[in-house]
Amino acid sequence: MSENRRVVVTGIGAVTPLGNNTKDTWEAMKNGKNGIAPITSFDTEGYKAKLAAEVKGFDPGEYLEVNDLFRTDRYAQLAVAAAQQAVEESGVEGTVEPERFAVMFGSGIGGITTFEKEYTKLKERGPRRVSPLFVPMMISNMAAGMIAIRHDCRGSAMPAVTACASGSNAIGEAMRLIRHGYADAVITGGAESAVCPSAIAGFVNMQALSTSEDPNAASLPFDKRRGGFVIGEGAVALVLEEYERAKARGAKIYGEVCGYGSTCDAYHITSPHPEARGGAKAMTEALAEAGYNENDTLYINAHGTGTPMNDAVETLAIKKALGEDAARAAYVSSTKSMTGHMLGAAGAVEAMACLFTLQEGVIPPTINLKEQDEECDLNCVANEAVSAKVTLAVSNSLGFGGHNACLAFRKV
């Protein structure tokens, strides 16, 4: 197989708490729009957490036939929609052999709303009432499978299931499929839809969620007042292609996926390693592969969940990877302040933010950052976007299980 082929992004699709397409999502992100609001998908009476970043006004019927709507979990519907947007924009369909067209799509949880619904039927109405489609609707590979079926992708069609690193791992592994000659184009990204009673209860009881009822005081990355993350939902898809073929067919190129690091803390199922060993190593690997040097103007889209430990440990990881001076010089922001934490889709929406930052020279802010924590003493872009000629953009994702992923992008 060929090695070290360049990999570029030629299409992006998005269904997020900030908009149901890429343009609306990015415009809202640049303008510091908050996608967090009171939960509407169920009655939160008795729940400590009452806010989420839900997708609003999404009609899956625009992307799926009526029969398919009843056979798919919401997370897969979001994935199919984002993928269709990305494929249509890229113009890749029909230009690549089906056997060289692959899918790598992440989800941290998969069809949890289906699981909840069907388990309720089982307990209340008995086993015969459980849907025969329960299992295929629930499993975390189904988004990848449905995307592959729709777009005739006969190469690898796999999920990345690494908790909150799923979207980034999916993109990184998709890049490697192309780089090392196993595919010419890959539909990749992440999807999640877990704003449901069981997930909210579980995250609250592990003290991971913010219990603020003020949308502007809930998702507070790097702020002294932070008290947990706000759950979000949505999907973002990217079309990755080998650079020479994309250039030859005149495709629009958003940027190059030029670095990827993937590590495990091998430490604890939910807590990051206190010395940030895995996160720092993932960043070091991605930056080295991307050819990072002292002349680069660096933007870091931080994992930045707004949990007390995560933000402090990620700050340490950035310092270890870059050195103190370079770490403080880099621009840093957490778009989770606007999108909430989209779990398995987080890495994908944050990759999108990196690509648009490179394209437009605009760095999206961390909104509602009013009291920056001394432990998080980075150059955080607070409250309003800033203009900068960024030459290298990286996105960090850190997941339960100790999974760490870092993606690096350059403008072509």
| CATH number for 54 | 3.40.47.10
Q: Are residues 192 and 317 both part of a single domain?
A: no
Is position 343 within any domain?
Answer: yes
256: tokens are 């190059």
Tell me: do 311 and 198 sit in the same domain: no
Q: pLDDT (tens digit, 0 to 9) for every residue of the chain, 412 residues total?
A: 556 899 999 999 999 999 999 999 999 999 999 999 999 999 999 999 999 999 999 999 999 999 999 999 999 999 999 999 999 999 999 999 999 999 999 999 999 999 999 999 999 999 999 999 999 999 999 999 999 999 999 999 999 999 999 999 999 999 999 999 999 999 999 999 999 999 999 999 999 999 999 999 999 999 999 999 999 999 999 999 999 999 999 999 999 999 999 999 999 999 999 999 999 999 999 999 999 999 999 999 999 999 999 999 999 999 999 999 999 999 999 999 999 999 999 999 999 999 999 999 999 999 999 999 999 999 999 999 999 999 999 999 999 999 999 999 999 9
Does residue 107 sit in the same domain as residue 163? yes
Q: Are residues 236 and 355 located together in one domain of the fold?
A: no
The structural domain count of the chain equals: 2
Kindly state whether residue 2 falls inside one of the protein's structural domains: no
Q: What phi and psi, each to the nearest 5 degrees, are found at residue 208?
A: -95, -25
Residue 1 lies in a domain: no
Residues 107 and 205 in one domain: yes
Q: Tell me the residue range of the domain where 241 lies.
A: 7-248
Q: 53: part of which helix (H) or strand (E)?
A: none
Q: Which of 202, 222, 248 is the last residue of a domain?
A: 248
| CB-CB contact of 255 with 335 (8 Å) | no
Residue that is last in its domain, among 207, 226, 248: 248
Distance in angstroms (rounded) separating the CA atoms of residues 311 and 302: 9
Quick one: 411 exposed, middle or buried, by C-beta within 10 A (0-12, 13-18, 19+)?
middle
Nearest to 42 by CA among 139, 109, 117: 117
Q: Which of 8, 60, 25 is CA-nearest to residue 236?
A: 25
Whether the full predicted model's pTM is greater than 0.85, yes or no, is yes
Residue finishing a domain among 208, 228, 248: 248
Would you please indicate which residues are annotated as catalytic (active-site) residues?
Answer: 164, 303, 341
Asked if residue 200 and residue 76 are part of one domain, the reply reads yes
